[in-house]
A and B are shown apart, each in its own frame.
Chain A
Amino acid sequence: MGDTVISVRGLRTQFGAQVVHDGLDLDVTRGEILGVVGGSGTGKSVLLRTIVGLNAAREGTIEVLGSSVPARSKAERERLEGRIGVMFQDGALFSSLTVRENVEVPLRRIAGLAPKTQSELADLKISMSGLPYYAGDKYPSELSGGMRKRAGLARALALDPEIVFLDEPTAGLDPIGAAEFDRLIHGLSRSLGLTVFLVTHDLDTLYAVCDRVAVLAEKRVLVTGTLDQMGRVDHPWVRQYFDGPRARAARAPKEG
């Protein structure tokens, strides 16, 4: 595996008196798909938001692509912008813009890009995310949940980031849609060389796409490793999670 693109050391996040993470360490290497799992309320989404700089950490250091988060200078922040993409849980599309305009928003940063090329690129990203052509002219409120997620992914990928953060990409999708989304993420990651930081509850997604899994529990990353290694971890929560009936069902097609 290649170099480390995300490195978190001794992270502590806190809301008032409630400590979410304490002494959390995590490394993500280039080109891998890392799945972050954990029970509800263990701070998976908070971890994602902290790494992309939306939450301030109380203690600890975060480095993304060699820049510290939060950025110490304007130049440093600009260096990072465009190199990471975030897809929020429900797409977080701007509701007053059409899908195409949503995808064009990050492209506007590129000075001198002809409007025609800009909308061509947006159409390409929309199509690569598996949306039909007519979806570009629609407003987010006119799309189904699954289509909104795809549009959110298209916007996150607009500038060809090196890392994408996905927050529960398959939550609320039907099994067919979720499986398609898994294939999409896997295919895009491999063909574009993307690093993917994936927060999920979906065991099928974990088994279908993730190279490595990080388990959040007890306010830190309890264990990281491949899915095979997870089966040998001796911790009650991890065992219950990866050895439960649903995990066995998700694993079955891979082994069979």
Chain B
Amino acid sequence: MTKSLPQIETRDEDGTQVLRLLGAVTVEGLPGLDRAFRDVSAAQPVRIEFGEVSRVDTAGAHLVARLRARLEAEGQRVTLEGASAQTAALIDTVAAAEPVAETEPVPERGIRTRIAGIGARVAGGAAFAAELLAMLGLVLSRLARVLVRPREFRLTALVHHCEAVGVQAVPIVALMAFLIGIVLAFQGATQLRQFGAEVFVVDLIAISILRELGVLLTSIIVAGRTASAFTAAIGSMKMREEIDAMRTLGLDPAMMLFVPRVLALLLMLPILALIANAAGIVGGGLMAWLSLGISPPMFATRLVESTDVANYVIGIVKAPVFAVIIGVVGCNAGMRVGGNAESLGRQTSSAVVTAIFAVIVADAVFSVLFAEIGI
């Protein structure tokens, strides 16, 4: 079994082109043979000699069969000489198996198809929004059913998801908020020092973290961590037909999969936001102490005096809404996963992007709303 490349010798014999093949006519040597065979003209009859061939595989047989078909189509005679019975049988087998290409319609290109494409994308976007709304409705209706029939509720799953979504996210959320507090205090101090108003750094930290940053940044981190995890878990179950299996067993995927996940987020996100608020203020206080000399007791007094508790309420009130958005987007993307691994990856990344985008849009809506009602 040497991997020697096949050789081809061409000579002219009484008006017949003779192609003498030597060596192994296999797929390894195909590029060279392919080029040589393309140059064979149909001007004369052709004889292919196999006397010195050590081995022929289907790729080699395919080339010979193709050459024979091409020349015969142009009305020239082709003879094979010296081929062993096995080789001849192989060439015939391959020639018989050659697929007949079916021409496929070429898609129309032009302004009409482009406009149609834009329209299809807009319609797709609207359908996606409707899908998200449908998923929200489904989850809400199942949550309502839990109130009526609590026995259908899966408490173990809820606890499990609470741990995955909440407890395990505490370190990253706390660290993130702590660092944000430090950054805010440091940047605020540099600016406020110009006006001799260093002490207002406390108001800056407290209001920005309590009102906006604590809950928003927590939601973004949770969207990245949890929406993708929901999509991956539900999507791989969908891919392996586990969800279809549930349906045939009379189990409701919404009750089994979506409700525990969304409810876990709903319970955990406010707690995570609270932890983020505390860590952010501790970070800010530490930095204020180190760079501005505002001692912790002074910081605490200023915090209590100048910051209305409404700031905290406004921040934390957004958390359940963000939680539902993240959960619904994650579960919905999981259900959109098709039959292959690629769509799982695409839906996972789309879940994260959609969840973060939707959270920020909702935050903007809240800002406008609170500004309108004047708090």
List chain A positions with a Cβ less than 8 A from chain B: 65, 83, 95-96, 107, 110-114, 117, 120-121, 123-128, 133-134, 137, 139-142, 157, 159-160, 162, 191-193
Asked if A192 contacts B58 (CB within 8 A), the reply is yes
Bound complex: CA of A162 vs CA of B24, how far in Å? Answer: 14
Kindly report which residue of chain B lies nearest to residue A128, judged by CB atoms: B97
Give chain A nearest CB distance to B106 CB in angstroms: 14
Asked if A134 contacts B57 (CB within 8 A), the reply is no
Asked if B90 contacts A192 (CB within 8 A), the reply is yes
Give chain A nearest CB distance to B275 CB in angstroms: 40
Write 21 A-B pairs (CB below 8 A) sorted by A numbering.
A65-B1, A95-B339, A95-B340, A95-B342, A113-B31, A117-B31, A121-B30, A121-B62, A123-B101, A126-B99, A127-B99, A128-B97, A133-B99, A133-B101, A134-B102, A139-B340, A157-B58, A160-B26, A191-B93, A192-B90, A193-B86
Judge whether B94 is part of the interface by a CB distance below 8 angstroms. yes
Q: Mark B87-121, 1 if CB is under 8 A from A, else 0.
A: 00110011001111110100000000000000000
Asked if B338 contacts A141 (CB within 8 A), the reply is yes
In the complex, chain B residues whose CB is within 8 Å of the CB of A113: 30-31, 34
Give chain A nearest CB distance to B216 CB in angstroms: 36
Q: Known: A140-B340, A192-B58. Contact between A124 and B94, CB under 8 A? A: yes
For the complex of A and B, 7 pairs with smallest distance between CB atoms: A141-B339, A95-B340, A112-B31, A160-B57, A127-B99, A96-B342, A128-B97
In the complex, chain B residues whose CB is within 8 Å of the CB of A125: 58
Asked if A127 contacts B93 (CB within 8 A), the reply is no
Kindly report which residue of chain A lies nearest to residue B344, judged by CB atoms: A95
Asked if B30 contacts A110 (CB within 8 A), the reply is yes
Bound complex: CA of A141 vs CA of B239, how far in Å? Answer: 10
In the complex, chain A residues whose CB is within 8 Å of the CB of B102: 133-134
In the complex, chain B residues whose CB is within 8 Å of the CB of A117: 30-31, 34
Asked if B90 contacts A191 (CB within 8 A), the reply is yes
Asked if B97 contacts A127 (CB within 8 A), the reply is yes
Bound complex: CA of A128 vs CA of B338, how far in Å? Answer: 30
Asked if B57 contacts A192 (CB within 8 A), the reply is yes
Give chain A nearest CB distance to B137 CB in angstroms: 29
Asked if B339 contacts A124 (CB within 8 A), the reply is no
Bound complex: CA of A95 vs CA of B345, how far in Å? Answer: 12
Bound complex: CA of A112 vs CA of B90, how far in Å? Answer: 25
In the complex, chain B residues whose CB is within 8 Å of the CB of A191: 86, 89-90, 93
B 1-58 contacts with A by CB, 8 A:
1, 26-28, 30-32, 34, 57-58
In the complex, chain A residues whose CB is within 8 Å of the CB of B31: 110-114, 117
Kindly report which residue of chain B lies nearest to residue A83, judged by CB atoms: B1
Give chain B nearest CB distance to A160 CB in angstroms: 4
Give chain B nearest CB distance to A138 CB in angstroms: 12
List chain B positions with a Cβ less than 8 A from chain A: 1, 26-28, 30-32, 34, 57-59, 62, 66, 86, 89-90, 93-94, 97-102, 104, 338-342
| Residue with the highest number of chain B CB atoms closer than 10 Å, among A111, A117, A121, A125 | A117
In the complex, chain B residues whose CB is within 8 Å of the CB of A140: 340
Asked if A124 contacts B100 (CB within 8 A), the reply is no
In the complex, chain B residues whose CB is within 8 Å of the CB of A111: 31
Extra contacts besides A120-B66, A127-B98, A160-B59 (18): CB < 8 Å: A95-B341, A95-B342, A96-B340, A107-B27, A113-B31, A117-B30, A117-B34, A121-B27, A121-B62, A124-B58, A126-B99, A128-B58, A128-B97, A134-B102, A141-B339, A159-B27, A160-B58, A193-B86
Q: Known: A117-B34, A124-B94. Contact between A160 and B27, CB under 8 A? A: yes
Kindly report which residue of chain B lies nearest to residue A95, judged by CB atoms: B340
In the complex, chain A residues whose CB is within 8 Å of the CB of B93: 128, 191
Kindly report which residue of chain A lies nearest to residue B92, judged by CB atoms: A191
Bound complex: CA of A247 vs CA of B102, how far in Å? Answer: 43
Bound complex: CA of A65 vs CA of B30, how far in Å? Answer: 23
Asked if B341 contacts A121 (CB within 8 A), the reply is no
Bound complex: CA of A159 vs CA of B62, how far in Å? Answer: 13
Bound complex: CA of A29 vs CA of B28, how far in Å? Answer: 24
In the complex, chain A residues whose CB is within 8 Å of the CB of B90: 191-192
In the complex, chain A residues whose CB is within 8 Å of the CB of B66: 120
In the complex, chain A residues whose CB is within 8 Å of the CB of B341: 95-96
Give chain A nearest CB distance to B17 CB in angstroms: 22
Give chain B nearest CB distance to A114 CB in angstroms: 6
Q: Known: A114-B34, A117-B30, A117-B34. Contact between A124 and B57, CB under 8 A? A: no
In the complex, chain B residues whose CB is within 8 Å of the CB of A128: 58, 93-94, 97
In the complex, chain B residues whose CB is within 8 Å of the CB of A134: 102
Bound complex: CA of A96 vs CA of B339, how far in Å? Answer: 10
In the complex, chain A residues whose CB is within 8 Å of the CB of B58: 121, 124-125, 128, 157, 160, 192
In the complex, chain A residues whose CB is within 8 Å of the CB of B57: 160, 192
Give chain B nearest CB distance to A224 CB in angstroms: 25
Give chain A nearest CB distance to B126 CB in angstroms: 26
